[in-house]
Structure 1
């Protein structure tokens, strides 16, 4: 080989290296970037639910319990509650349920003792429109619960079953029948209750005179079959702000010591068989906003002191046996959102202070304070009133009735006609008398 060819070969090799080396380094530099983008175009995981459940912070046993109750566990119930139906503690490594609310359950819903055993950390448990028979609650759960609610849900409830929740502070049963011989079976063991609702549960018997927590603030025993009298022991519950005993079979008088319930805001004793007067002490309850004593056999006069209750917004005294003059002014009635006093046949209102337009459903009073028969019904040109109209001195209903019938003292059309007829009769009689007299005179002549 000649020196020239050797030189040419060396030059060619060098040129090839100059060309290939940059290409090699460029390919090496591009390769990591290409590898970094490759996961974004890979297909997503096909089992998100299983990975979500496995990464949940909730105790796995409680996850299985929720699944057996047909509660979705795709998302962590602690961080993403199912319709705000769950709350959890902050324990590690696993959190635990503190509250659970089951609403509008499916037809497949059913309770099991096994599931409830896994949920023994609950302090609050609510069923709403979940129709299912009750099952045995493990003692660990019964003792731990502080709030228990069943609304149109659990079947075959009993007083003995509810009495096992010894540490409850709130108990609400509404629309579910409770088999028990009386309320005392439930309340005798629940010494910490501050809120008790046993409404429309078919309970009968007497209202307990004892076994009430002095700190009770809410008591609703409405729509049952309770009988007997209202025990005065209820008026010792000084913290009570809500009391509903309506739609029962209670009788006797309202305790005169009701005024001791100074924090009471809502009092409903309607639809019973209570008798006697309204205790004057009720007007002392300055916070009272709702007072319903309707559909009883209460009698006597209505205490005028009720009109001094500045916080009162709802007053229903209809369908009783009250008598005398209703002591309320038009301004007091207008202040109320609801006012009902009809259905008291012996009760009347003073027409000098209250307008007929207020449509109270009771008669006017005469000068002796007794009801007078209302005038014949006349179509009101102004239309029906909502009861808020002020009294108009020119709108005396009795005077208007007389004027429309032509019987007022000023002389109506009927009296004018009668006067003219009498006058004409007198003139005719006088003419006849004169004619007869003249004829007799002529004969004598």
Structure 2
């Protein structure tokens, strides 16, 4: 049982290389300096890690190759001394350690690392720090802020990079103009990147995933996008792309996932999309497409996900698509224009009630004859009128008597 509040570590030890396949059972133990480094990270070392996991076959001591830290306590720090001892690591993963300060990586460790992952971790992470990890093949950063003025600062030195994932990292700047040909996976979604999609990005012949969604990318989708013959997933949603969908997309035989939603794309929806037999996910919603949607009902049902709503000038052919199929766009009239939806019953009811209420208010205030009882309440009461008449008669009688006595005298 691990003591409370200690950093949970999973030590995965990978066989490095050996001339003798049976040397796993070597009696050599883990390097004492690495044992000390693990103890500084609150990792129990009562037993030799190499007795339960795989170490390399160095002699006289074996070495760790992979280290995964997760759920670190707030007080945890990684000393430079410990990292010097862990020079043999080829993979380092840090998960859910948001209070962990970024330590200085000694040069041997920076050079030796092939995989670096930081998810919801590290208080400070700079592009300059990442650029020193020159031999990485896999870089994954998510929900961790990177202080960098340009993605090129990070990526240019990493000539062996195969998989790149930097998401929700507040990364800003233009997309790099130069990309290393080895890349098979690029995910730069949910950042603050801007500018146009460079044509150099479309020269990555081995690229299988390209996700640039939720940025500030403008311009058109380059026609050379169709040169990505190995691409399986293309996501450009939630940007400010304009223009039409290039026909060259038809030339991408492996494409399964196409997400172009929430942009400013216009023109008509291309008919050639229905010819892409491998395509299973299609999102074209919230753009500016117009005209008649070219797909019939059987084509639409072929997709696992199909989104087309939010295109107010787009409509569907009622002869090929049942009204029971909810698409989020209007049916077409005989001129190929969207039929305006009928007024909602609730709206009519609310409007009639509102008009009647307004008329009733006018009647209540303007036509006092409509309610006799209301006259009694709003005008002078009968008692007051009677008193006023009586007093007036008395005053009149007194004045009459005074005048009469003067006349007789």
Match of 1:187 among 108, 130, 155: 155
Structure 1 residue 306, shift from structure 2 partner? 0.7
- Is 1:309 matched with 2:276? yes
How far, CA to CA, are the matches of 2:213 and 2:71 in structure 1? Answer: 28
1:418 matched to which residue of 2? none
2:104 matched to which residue of 1? 136
2:50 matched to which residue of 1? 78
Match of 1:274 among 229, 241, 244: 241
- Is 1:342 matched with 2:309? yes
Structure 1 residue 356, shift from structure 2 partner? 0.8
Q: Residues 2-27 of structure 1, C-alpha deviation per residue, up to 9 Å, x if partnerless? A: xxxxxxxxxxxxxxxxxxxxxxxxxx
Call closer, same or farther: CA 1:120–1:176 in 2, change over 3 Å. same
1:27 matched to which residue of 2? none
Contact preservation (8 Å) 2:28, 2:60 = no
Structure 1 residue 74, shift from structure 2 partner? 3.0
Q: RMSD across aligned C-alpha pairs, in angstroms?
A: 1.6
How far, CA to CA, are the matches of 2:203 and 2:195 in structure 1? Answer: 19
- Is 1:197 matched with 2:165? yes
Structure 1 residue 70, shift from structure 2 partner? 1.8
Aligned to 2:97, the other structure's residue is in SS state coil
- Is 1:58 matched with 2:30? yes
Which 10-residue stretch deviates more, 368-377 or 175-184? 368-377
Structure 1 residue 378, shift from structure 2 partner? 8.5
Higher Rg of the two aligned structures? 1
Match of 2:66 among 80, 99, 110: 99
Match of 2:210 among 229, 243, 254: 243
Q: Residues 365-394 of structure 1, C-alpha deviation per residue, up to 9 Å, x if partnerless? A: 122221111345699xxxxxxxxxxxxxxx
1:411 matched to which residue of 2? none
1:156 matched to which residue of 2? 124
2:226 matched to which residue of 1? 259
Structure 1 residue 79, shift from structure 2 partner? 3.7
Contact preservation (8 Å) 1:174, 1:201 = yes
TM-score (norm 2): 0.75
Which ranges in structure 2 are unaligned for 5 or more consecutive residues? 1-26, 347-409
Which 10-residue stretch deviates more, 329-338 or 180-189? 329-338
Structure 1 residue 108, shift from structure 2 partner? 3.1
Q: How does 1:110-129 map onto structure 2 within 5 Å?
A: 110-129=77-96
Contact preservation (8 Å) 1:251, 1:274 = yes
2:137 matched to which residue of 1? 169
Q: Residues 412-444 of structure 1, C-alpha deviation per residue, up to 9 Å, x if partnerless? A: xxxxxxxxxxxxxxxxxxxxxxxxxxxxxxxxx
Contact preservation (8 Å) 2:289, 2:313 = yes
Contact preservation (8 Å) 1:364, 1:374 = no
Call closer, same or farther: CA 1:299–1:68 in 2, change over 3 Å. same
Which ranges in structure 1 are unaligned for 5 or more consecutive residues? 1-54, 82-86, 380-445
Answer 1 or 2: higher relative contact order, Cα 8 Å, separation at least 6: 2
1:329 matched to which residue of 2? 296
Match of 1:233 among 182, 187, 200: 200
How far, CA to CA, are the matches of 1:88 and 1:369 in structure 2? Answer: 69
2:256 matched to which residue of 1? 289
2:383 matched to which residue of 1? none
Contact preservation (8 Å) 2:101, 2:124 = yes
TM-score (norm 1): 0.69
Q: Residues 186-240 of structure 1, C-alpha deviation per residue, up to 9 Å, x if partnerless? A: 1111111111111111111100111x11110000111111111111110000100
Matched positions, count: 319
